[in-house]
Structure 1
């Protein structure tokens, strides 16, 4: 395989020929799939990768393997011991479980969209899981710190970014549609500081992002700028970097996208932000206006119960598919 390597300009990748078919090896994806440290090692005799004390102590507190991560059974057992935890640890544990519920509803939307795309406002959209935003924000510093080539390309994108771009991730009802070629609108939930959920709509043709935030006081304008910066810069970069031809690449620009936080939307009570985030995505994707009557705070429990029933009625196993692909990429969650 190595004897048939192709000469390419992309960093961190190897391309080879197996018969007539090209094969790509991405060092970034290999790092995320295996959990191995793939950074440049200054001292080969002491190639130790430092793991943060906070992360180590949290996983040890849950009683799971520090490197392998947690299983569903271990998380359930951890919930049974919640009273022993501090308030911050209980919040982190609750967010971990809530994230699986967030992705379960995203899976319901993906299934509905696959079955009846005519009910939605466009046939050029996709829904992404919560790990998309989490992973892109976490790896944004690597992107900024990496040196581009003379054309401004060659930066280090997050591992698994290609899979989102090509529509092979998330695995459940994958679209297999390439952004901009077949996808114009991208919808995704975004978590801030393990305490608050917002919804994000990325319009690729408009080069603009709309944020739906149901409790605007939870994130200041300055902090929201920081939250959105990775997407404003990495989405346009990705479109240029992975354009299929020079002609297509010339149609794009590395200039950052713009964004706005929508203000004329129903607000939520504390604790309902995740549910409202998902309903904002659903309503806008269907072309339905945000009804302040339907989204009234008093209807919160009814909305939550209806969503739970829909998840298990429409696809009883939908929650089992949450991020199986990104478990491999990120090593973060299991079912």
Structure 2
């Protein structure tokens, strides 16, 4: 076997020398450039992913905000509808209680109590109350006839129509009904010698247990006029104080315009120099709105009375808009519901309004009446106690949230296109002259002064005689007047 053959290794010529340091440096440089390009590519991909994630996050935020706004709007509308249903149900229950109370008194052997006020404080139908000294066309004395009435079996009504035609059945007359003659249970209507129908009996004669109250109304010869200083009639005052002093007749709470209120609610309202809360203001301003809806011939219809709830929303959103360095005015469905007349109850659409009355509360310590005049683009401050403020500038700063937010609400309502150019600017703030605003030297009465000032402004009484018409001497009288009006549910002018 022959030995293996090996190929000899040839030496490298001297002309083909090994790579130099310059080649190594070029290789390192190319590697660095490649790594830098790869880093730039990774950074670009990371920035693109960040941008896409940010866009997705903003889109999700927008969708969540839209869903939240839609849910809040639906909740607001549902809350309003539930409140309206509750009001209607409570009115029907109050009417039913009025109907059943005489029945209970009849079967229990007790006399029919006469402690109910003139327009039935438990019944919240809109009724007119005749002030003292005015003529009541229903106040004629009744003549009671105690003649015996025929029984149901004794009533026979002849038929005046053929057998195949329909005959109106006679009304059922119960025994014990007074003020009627034996033969007056029905009335035959004859026209051209032909009998037509039998007239039914009056509604208050269909049952011996129901005493249907007659509505008090003003005489057409003497139309009612609005007097903001008119006091309630004496029988309403007596009925209120009987209930207030403990003779509740089984009614420990009283249904005011919006909610049921206990005795403590009226204690705060009647106490001298006692600061009233927003619930008192909202109840009394509801009476103002109810009065303006009921007597549209007396009151100007370009006025809108808002509530303290509106002022709370404005101040809350104003504070939130100031939290960041850039001022961004925030909105809420609750605030826009005032513009659309969803709030408050018996509210008025802003498209027909020129003057807005806003009860303004400063840190739950002081009440002021604000009158927003959109024609003059001015907010007027009616302050009953100038000593509360250090300066006029401090008073104006407290109203600045309304001056900035009101133009935005007018613009977003879509009803004030003629003021669209003005909506870019804040409203002016002016302090009403002191001689046209009722003044108080006592602390705690600012809420009553604020409410009375709104009534006086509506009646055109905020003039040079305002300080003599309303002052510390008679403010307690109007505390009592508001309490009686809430107890009775009266909205008379």
TM-score (structure 2 length as normaliser): 0.42
CA contact (8 A) 1:211 1:260 kept: yes
Report the Cα offset of residue 168 of structure 1: 1.3
CA contact (8 A) 1:184 1:203 kept: yes
Report the Cα offset of residue 222 of structure 1: 2.9
Corresponding residue number in structure 1 for 2:444: 271
Residue among 284, 289, 296 paired with 2:462:
289
Encode CA deviations 1:165-212: one digit per residue, 9 max, x unaligned: 1111112x232x1x2x21111101111121111101111222111111
Q: What's the secondary structure of 2:414's corresponding residue?
A: coil
CA contact (8 A) 1:237 1:253 kept: yes
**Matching of residues 123-134 of structure 1 within 5 Å:** 123-134=301-312
CA contact (8 A) 1:119 1:286 kept: no
CA contact (8 A) 2:355 2:372 kept: yes
Whose relative contact order is higher, 1 or 2, with alpha carbons under 8 Å and at least 6 apart?
Answer: 1
Q: What's the secondary structure of 1:205's corresponding residue?
A: coil
Pair 1:110-2:322 in alignment: no
Report the Cα offset of residue 226 of structure 1: 2.3
- Superposition RMSD in Å: 3.7
Q: What's the secondary structure of 1:118's corresponding residue?
A: coil
CA distance in 2, matches of 1:115, 1:143: 39
CA distance in 2, matches of 1:307, 1:161: 28
Report the Cα offset of residue 295 of structure 1: 0.7
Report the Cα offset of residue 309 of structure 1: 1.2
**Matching of residues 83-98 of structure 1 within 5 Å:** 98=277
Corresponding residue number in structure 2 for 1:156: 330
CA distance in 1, matches of 2:473, 2:481: 14
Residue among 340, 347, 358 paired with 1:188:
358
CA contact (8 A) 1:137 1:227 kept: no
Encode CA deviations 1:211-267: one digit per residue, 9 max, x unaligned: 11000111232322221111111111222233269x667454220000111122221
Corresponding residue number in structure 1 for 2:20: none
Deviates more, 1:25-34 or 1:305-314: 25-34
Report the Cα offset of residue 286 of structure 1: 2.1
Q: What's the secondary structure of 1:174's corresponding residue?
A: coil
Encode CA deviations 1:141-165: one digit per residue, 9 max, x unaligned: 22345799xxx9x841245111111
CA contact (8 A) 2:69 2:333 kept: no
Report the Cα offset of residue 302 of structure 1: 1.0
CA contact (8 A) 2:385 2:446 kept: yes
Corresponding residue number in structure 2 for 1:304: 479
CA distance in 2, matches of 1:116, 1:142: 40
CA distance in 2, matches of 1:305, 1:244: 40
Mark the CA change 1:11 to 1:228 in structure 2 (over 3 Å): closer, same or farther.
farther
Corresponding residue number in structure 2 for 1:210: 380
Structure 1 residue ranges without an equivalent (≥5) = 1-9, 16-23, 35-70, 80-93, 317-335
Pair 1:119-2:293 in alignment: no
Corresponding residue pairs, total: 238
Q: What's the secondary structure of 1:297's corresponding residue?
A: coil
Deviates more, 1:271-280 or 1:283-292: 283-292
Deviates more, 1:236-245 or 1:281-290: 236-245
Corresponding residue number in structure 2 for 1:227: 398
Mark the CA change 1:31 to 1:193 in structure 2 (over 3 Å): closer, same or farther.
farther
Mark the CA change 1:304 to 1:244 in structure 2 (over 3 Å): closer, same or farther.
closer
Q: What's the secondary structure of 2:380's corresponding residue?
A: strand
Corresponding residue number in structure 2 for 1:58: none
**Matching of residues 1-335 of structure 1 within 5 Å:** 14=66, 25-26=69-70, 98-120=277-299, 122-144=300-322, 155-171=329-345, 173-175=346-348, 177=349, 179=350, 181-220=351-390, 221-243=392-414, 250-262=420-432, 263-264=434-435, 265-268=437-440, 269-289=442-462, 291-315=466-490
CA distance in 2, matches of 1:266, 1:258: 23
Mark the CA change 1:210 to 1:12 in structure 2 (over 3 Å): closer, same or farther.
farther
CA distance in 2, matches of 1:284, 1:231: 20
Q: What's the secondary structure of 1:189's corresponding residue?
A: strand
Q: What's the secondary structure of 2:469's corresponding residue?
A: coil
Deviates more, 1:299-308 or 1:215-224: 215-224
CA contact (8 A) 1:214 1:277 kept: yes
Q: What's the secondary structure of 1:162's corresponding residue?
A: helix
